[in-house]
Structure 1
Amino acid sequence: MVTSLLWTTTGATLLGVLSSIRSAVALNNGVARLPILGYNTWNAYQCNIDEDLVLGTAQLMKSLGLQDAGYNYVNIDDCYAEKNRTTSGDIIEDRVRFKNGMKNLNKQIHALGFQTGIYSDSGWFTCGGYPGSYENELRDLRTFSNWGFDYLKYDNCAIPYDSITRTGIVGKYQRMADAVKQVAKETHKTPIVLSLCEWGWSQVWLWGAELGQSWRTTGDIAPNWDSLAFIINFNSFLTQATDFYGRNDLDMLQLGNGGLTYEEAKSHFTAWALMKSPLLIGTNLSQITPDILGILKNKEILDINQDPVVGKSISPFRWGINPDWTSNSTHPAQYWSGPTKDGTVFMLLNTLNEPASMTFNLTESPWIRAGRQYSVRDLWAHADNGTAVRNFTAQNVPPHGVVALLLKDVGDEPGGLFPECSVWWQCTDRNGTRVGG
């Protein structure tokens, strides 16, 4: 679907919503100042998990160098529990698949240098039909803390009737956020990271930062280009909501599970990382290829995701094949930029099914100064690419491929350039005459 947000009634409404989005008033409780990097069991294994698989995944992350690259969370998703609570009302781990207990498993994974995550749901049941946490939020958070978990993914299935909740979606998630605060106070421990999986899209990017450190903005990712394009398009209008301690969650990294070309996998990783999404690998690590491992370990891209000085997401400065502010779930915005501690990062995304050369004027990005020249670093070639003066062209970007560049100011542009301005029709001499044409 293609929608021009500037020229439709729906667009006017959405622009009104967008204008109200501010930099996230983040929940600064001392955890997850930067995006979480790690692993989640769901995409590769769904319910087919046990303690040996989880521990083995942690060991593989270490041996593959992923821990050294910054991936330091090992998160268990749905289906780890018994289908019924104990007689005292507690969630209990599956007695067969986690026979030695979650506490013991956590000790082993923590001993490897990782932190750990667990899963629950804001409704009666999880999405897999296991006990949810509604009306048991504090009880369950105490259980997860006692087991030794550092992170909670909190889902949105099996919502109780309105006559029971008597609240909106914010109030339903507030219950677990309050439990996180209470357990931190009781235990004198660092609060558990709360990741809201509210895929109902009820403007979660506007309120999520007040409750947790990340919030899902769309439904589950699928291993194909159409899914990536949809997610990128949707989030292109929400980038203002991401900053330190709070960020849009674009869902897991669906790399290496089939369905994506190598170039699409690079685009997937680049967009997620530069939009400062959490980076949670969903790949079977025992089957990972060197190419995919190389994508995941791209230090120059990861350094921007983990920038300690700038927490903001990249944003589109031009949509490209569509008019600006056009919502197109198959052809999202193509030209993006954002500030970093080391310069301005650019993402050029070829959404076409054929190679394309992509050109932009440097000052189209609000982070670039007019009248200056910039060194160009190619973050995928890991090589310097000359000096850009006024504009830059990336030649023959592959179908669904990406170019990621870091531009650094290296001084005034050369003298004597004509016209006097790179965007000549915007400039005027002090005597009132145009400077080019």
Structure 2
Amino acid sequence: MKKAILNLVVVLFSLSHFAQKFENLAKTPPMGWNSWNKYGCDVDEKLIMKMADEIVNSGMQEVGYEYVVIDDCWQVGRSEDGEIIVDKERFPSGMKKLADYIHSKGLKFGIYSCAGTETCQERPGSRGYEFQDARTYARWEVDFLKHDWCNTSTQNAQASYSIMRDALFAAGRPIVFSICEWGKSEPWEWGKDVGHLWRTTGDIRDSWESMISIVDKEKDLFKFAEPGSWNDPDMLEVGNGGMTTEEYKTHFSLWCMLAAPLMAGNDLSDMTKETKEILMNRDLIAINQDVLGKQGFVYRDNGDYQIWIKQLDNKEKAVCLLNRSDEVKKVQVDFNLLLKANSSIGWRTYIDPYELKDYSVRDLWEHKSVNIGDGTIFLTIPPHAVKVFKFVRN
């Protein structure tokens, strides 16, 4: 009883003393790779090292991908003193050695845990061990923690994630904290003070229907995103085979417009030319990583046709024309109106005092300037496809 009371006192003191998150992290949406979408529980250190090598060798590192994150199934139990136990068969060198290897490549190391008693794959969770686990992650030199929400019973999400936030801060190593609560308790309302990104929906699947349904749930949350605090619509499925090339281009374009974390989830050692071109589109990545940190918003919604706008630094803007339908769509586009659109008023009022003569327009998939004449052009957009443009100041 005395030991339990002492532990409670220590936790309460820690919560009051370290009730804050690390600032100046994730000032732009995190970019990297996560093991889950492609490999699930079939992970080991050779695979993780191989993916780290591929990030470097493929050129992905050069365009901004930096985190290598092991998802669930790396842990198998706890020792008598509560220390988390790594699967020695799959990770014989241990996590510190793996982190050292990843760091030697100029990359950052991420790991997975869960706010409940067990993870989603019934491995030991962090509930009741938050401060101990945080010290372990700091000792391993972890840079990113994805914290899931399985087996949480009646736990309060904000309180549970706040405990892990405080534990990470107490451990002293700056770690990007990814809240994976699936949007159940509206984490966009409280996540800013707790983590650096928060999941807004359930898990993505490698299909058009899953991807576009997540976009629908995400589109009205733009006011909650800012540098260091991001809505997370889940990881990328680009290259996993369940969608067409056009659909993957749309998937990637929308994640960039949403200022979403860009966490690839495919086999990086076996990418097609099309997959590489999508994941390493520098023009789109620049939109995602824009330092203003604004999430895109729906400027016009005609059901199966939407216009998205993302405000950028230097008074620039990105525009995404989305054909959600199963048919080819021909549209008239007035760039004068798009340049002046402002999310704070709505699409029927134009208050930004910009003039089209001061800008050029760049097609971000064709990677070239567009001749728009007096500002109005007609475009043909294939089914489930996008056209993405950027207003670039002259």
Q: Same fold (TM over 0.5)?
A: yes
**Counterpart pick for 1:353 among 326, 329, 337:** 326
**Counterpart pick for 1:315 among 297, 307, 324:** 297
Which residue of structure 1 lines up, in the alignment, with residue 8 of structure 2?
A: none
Alignment map for 1:391-402 (pairs within 5 Å): 391-393=376-378, 395-402=379-386
Question: Aligned partners of 1:208 and 1:391: how far apart in 2?
Answer: 41
Distance verdict in 2 for CA 1:267–1:27, change over 3 Å: farther
> In structure 2, the residue corresponding to 1:376 is in which secondary structure?
strand
Letter in 2 for 1:85: R
Distance verdict in 2 for CA 1:64–1:370, change over 3 Å: closer
**Counterpart pick for 2:23 among 15, 21, 29:** 29
Q: Does 1:193 align with 2:176?
A: yes
Q: Does 1:404 align with 2:388?
A: yes
Count matched residues: 362
Which residue of structure 2 lines up, in the alignment, with residue 226 of structure 1?
A: 209
Alignment map for 1:113-192 (pairs within 5 Å): 113-160=106-153, 162=154, 165=155, 168-184=156-172, 189=173, 191-192=174-175
> In structure 2, the residue corresponding to 1:237 is in which secondary structure?
helix
Contact 2:21 2:169 in 1 (8 A): no
Distance verdict in 2 for CA 1:381–1:390, change over 3 Å: closer
Contact 1:28 1:245 in 2 (8 A): no
Contact 1:254 1:283 in 2 (8 A): yes
Which residue of structure 2 lines up, in the alignment, with residue 19 of structure 1?
A: none
Contact 1:27 1:245 in 2 (8 A): no
Question: Aligned partners of 1:276 and 1:27: how far apart in 2?
Answer: 21
Could you tell me which runs of 5 or more consecutive residues in structure 1 were left unpaired when the two chains were aligned. 1-25, 323-330, 411-437
Q: CA deviation at 1:369?
A: 3.4
Contact 2:183 2:199 in 1 (8 A): no
Q: CA deviation at 1:57?
A: 0.7
1:71-97 CA distance string (max 9 Å, x none): 011000000011x20111111110111
Alignment map for 1:70-85 (pairs within 5 Å): 70-82=64-76, 84-85=77-78
Q: CA deviation at 1:307?
A: 1.6
Contact 2:22 2:175 in 1 (8 A): no
Question: Aligned partners of 2:106 and 2:354: how far apart in 1?
Answer: 46
Distance verdict in 2 for CA 1:235–1:27, change over 3 Å: farther
More helix by share: 2
TM-score by length of 2: 0.88
Q: CA deviation at 1:370?
A: 6.1
**Counterpart pick for 1:334 among 296, 302, 306:** 306
Question: Aligned partners of 2:355 and 2:264: how far apart in 1?
Answer: 42
> In structure 2, the residue corresponding to 1:403 is in which secondary structure?
strand
Question: Aligned partners of 1:409 and 1:106: how far apart in 2?
Answer: 42
Q: CA deviation at 1:286?
A: 2.1
Letter in 2 for 1:263: E
1:202-224 CA distance string (max 9 Å, x none): 21111111101000000111111
Question: Aligned partners of 1:375 and 1:159: how far apart in 2?
Answer: 52
TM-score by length of 1: 0.80
Contact 1:344 1:408 in 2 (8 A): yes
Which residue of structure 2 lines up, in the alignment, with residue 416 of structure 1?
A: none
Name the Cα RMSD after superposition.
Answer: 1.7
**Counterpart pick for 2:256 among 273, 282, 291:** 273
1:334-358 CA distance string (max 9 Å, x none): 1011221251110111101011123
Question: Aligned partners of 2:293 and 2:99: how far apart in 1?
Answer: 30
Question: Aligned partners of 2:331 and 2:56: how far apart in 1?
Answer: 38
Q: CA deviation at 1:389?
A: 3.5
Alignment map for 1:232-271 (pairs within 5 Å): 232-271=215-254
Contact 1:348 1:358 in 2 (8 A): no
Question: Aligned partners of 1:242 and 1:256: how far apart in 2?
Answer: 27
Letter in 1 for 2:388: A
Q: CA deviation at 1:195?
A: 0.3
Question: Aligned partners of 2:376 and 2:189: how far apart in 1?
Answer: 35
Question: Aligned partners of 1:389 and 1:316: how far apart in 2?
Answer: 24
Contact 1:363 1:369 in 2 (8 A): no
Letter in 2 for 1:274: M
Could you tell me which runs of 5 or more consecutive residues in structure 2 were left unpaired when the two chains were aligned. 1-19, 343-350
